[in-house]
Structure 1
Amino acid sequence: MTETLLVTGASGQLGRAVINHLLEAQKIAPASIIATTRSPENLADLAARGVVVRAADFNDKASLEKAFAGADRVLIISTGDLDLKTGQRLKQHETAVAAAKAAGVSHLLYTSMPNPEPGSPVLFAGDHYGTEQAIKASGIPYTIFRNGWYQENLFMALPHAISAGKWYTSAADGRIAHGARDDMAAAIAAGLASGSSESHIYTLTGPHAYTVGEIAALVSEVTGKPLEVVQLPDEALTEGVKAAGVPEDFARIIVSFDANTRAGRIALVTDTVEALSGRKPRTLKQFLEANKAALLG
């Protein structure tokens, strides 16, 4: 019997990419895929292809139980609610895990982050660690994907840095193996479609870990623009990010990424993307070359 695969957050970039890989690379029949979102009208194109589209609100357990009904394997893509004062995201994830158990889901999959354990400098790491604990406590066999930082996240800093000729950071000589979002989506889709009933934790990364200085050198090589790395203490960097118009809470989250890099907690390089998906991951240089025009504004 063909298993029914469900993807939450299906209107987001990662969710859509996972579904595309299920359809194209994994050759899953559209009728065996359930795509959930708060706004089903945003998935009209998937519905037209035969994918089952359902409404699901992570703040409403009843809606999640209804959405998860009949699903064998459920991928919970972490939500974008980063209000650290309320702990809302962890509550949402715990609600989804409870709904999956109530719906009789046979395998639960989740998108986490590398090294989310207590002590992580990343301000929202507790959301991921708490969700992993809730999944383990549910008794449902699980696959946890600890997604490394996306290459696409560099768009938050690089265009402005290239324009100014200076890249402000507090990451020191910490290394980070940025990976392509679509590569991680391909690996996640393969895991979702695998039928494996065993519990696994996978860390998904790009193929090479670089320091900020090494990334800046690559950027200069690709764009022809000089880019000086300026190291700052965390608080000074936070004030600079705030001065650029970023709200304080989010500025502190951004700077916590650099603190995490400096601490060596995101330097891991794995071959898991290729092992799961069967495809070579995109290198950072390939990303920069493909996005040169966008980076130069």
Structure 2
Amino acid sequence: MTATTDGRMGFVDVHDIAQVGVRAPADEHPHNTAHLITGLEALSYADVAALVSAVAGRPIHHRGVSYEAMRDLLAATGVPEGFAELPAGMDRSIAKGTEDRLSPAVEEVMGQPPCSFADFAAAHASAWRR
């Protein structure tokens, strides 16, 4: 459940983040930049749910809610109201397209493309089959 509507983002495997994080500072030539590390494609949470459904063998759905509903749900679970606005606000920002971007950083630093979400989902299918 998110308030991202059909907003997209470049989901990235933590292993790709770690590889860039280890390699970039160790390179002979300094990068002198803050790398934007993204996956191969910008996906919505509905896209992610569909990819997970395909490998899990069961339906997984993304439930979209409003910013207010997300904020209130977080607050109802014990998250302080002021803090609940932060993740709900990030969802709203994604809905507006702020994270619909991709970067070649992983391939530039590592010499290979990042893991696709489909490959990530397939590699972790057993976790979603439970």
Provide TM-score, normalisation by structure 1.
Answer: 0.40
Q: How much does 1:173 deviate?
A: 1.5
Q: How much does 1:285 deviate?
A: 1.4
Secondary structure at the counterpart of residue 24 of structure 2: helix
Residue matched to 1:225: 58
Distance 1:204 1:252, change over 3 A: same
Q: How much does 1:198 deviate?
A: 6.0
- In 2, the alpha carbon distance for the partners of 1:254 and 1:203 equals 20
- In 2, the alpha carbon distance for the partners of 1:233 and 1:270 equals 29
Indicate the RMSD between aligned Cα atoms, in angstroms.
2.1
Q: How much does 1:282 deviate?
A: 1.2
Q: Tell whether 2:80 aligns with 1:257.
A: no
- C-alpha contact 1:170 1:232 (8 A) present in aligned 2: yes
- C-alpha contact 2:52 2:128 (8 A) present in aligned 1: no
Q: How much does 1:292 deviate?
A: 2.5
Residue matched to 1:271: 104
- In 2, the alpha carbon distance for the partners of 1:251 and 1:294 equals 28
2:44 to 188, 193, 211: 211
1:177-188 pair list within 5 angstroms: 177-188=10-21
- In 1, the alpha carbon distance for the partners of 2:128 and 2:75 equals 22
Bigger strand fraction: 1
Q: How much does 1:217 deviate?
A: 1.3
Amino acid at match of 1:206: G
Residue matched to 2:25: 192
Q: Tell whether 2:98 aligns with 1:247.
A: no
Secondary structure at the counterpart of residue 230 of structure 1: coil
Larger radius of gyration: 1
Secondary structure at the counterpart of residue 241 of structure 1: helix
Q: How many residues align?
A: 129
Structure 1 portions without partners, runs of 5+? 1-167
Bigger helix fraction: 2
Provide TM-score, normalisation by structure 2.
Answer: 0.83
- In 2, the alpha carbon distance for the partners of 1:207 and 1:186 equals 15
Q: How much does 1:253 deviate?
A: 2.8
Secondary structure at the counterpart of residue 53 of structure 2: helix
Amino acid at match of 1:220: S
- C-alpha contact 1:187 1:274 (8 A) present in aligned 2: no
- In 1, the alpha carbon distance for the partners of 2:86 and 2:123 equals 28
Structure 2 portions without partners, runs of 5+? none
- C-alpha contact 1:187 1:273 (8 A) present in aligned 2: yes
Amino acid at match of 2:14: R
Distance 1:291 1:214, change over 3 A: same
Distance 1:181 1:229, change over 3 A: closer
